[in-house]
Amino acid sequence: MFRSEITVVDCTVRDGGLMNKWQFSDQFVRHVYTALSESGVDYMEIGYLSSKSSFDRREYGPWRFCFEEELRRIIGDGDKSIKLSAMADIGRVEHDDIPPRSEGSLDLIRVACYVHQVDSAIALAEHCTDKGYETSINLMAVSTVGMRDLNEALEDLDKSRVPVVYLVDSFGAFYSEDIDALVTKYLERLPEKTIGIHCHNNQQLAFANTIAGIINGANYLDATMYGIGRGAGNCPLELLLSFLKNPKFDVRPLVKCIEEEIFPWARKFNWGYSVPYMVTGVLNQHPRTAMAHMESEHKERITEFYDRLSSAAD
Residues in contact with its own copies by CB under 8 A are: 175-177, 201, 203-209, 211-212, 215, 226, 236, 238-239, 242-243, 251-252, 255-256, 258-259, 263, 272-273, 275, 278, 282, 300-303, 306-307, 310
Nearer to its own copies, 75 or 283 (CB): 283
Report the phi/psi class of residue 172: left, alpha or beta, with left for phi > 0 and alpha for psi in -120 to 50. left
DSSP code for 260:
I
State the nearest-atom distance from the C-beta of 200 to its own copies, in Å: 12
311 CB contacts (<8 Å, ≥6 apart)?
none
Backbone angles phi, psi at 115, to 5 degrees: -60, -35
Nearer to its own copies, 73 or 252 (CB): 252
State the nearest-atom distance from the C-beta of 242 to its own copies, in Å: 5
| Measured distance CA(197)–CA(165) in Å, rounded | 9
Nearer to its own copies, 122 or 206 (CB): 206
| Measured distance CA(122)–CA(127) in Å, rounded | 8
State the nearest-atom distance from the C-beta of 228 to its own copies, in Å: 13
| Measured distance CA(81)–CA(113) in Å, rounded | 29
Nearer to its own copies, 51 or 176 (CB): 176
State the nearest-atom distance from the C-beta of 275 to its own copies, in Å: 6
State the nearest-atom distance from the C-beta of 170 to its own copies, in Å: 18
Nearer to its own copies, 124 or 223 (CB): 223
Report which secondary-structure segment, H or E, holds 44.
Answer: strand 43-49
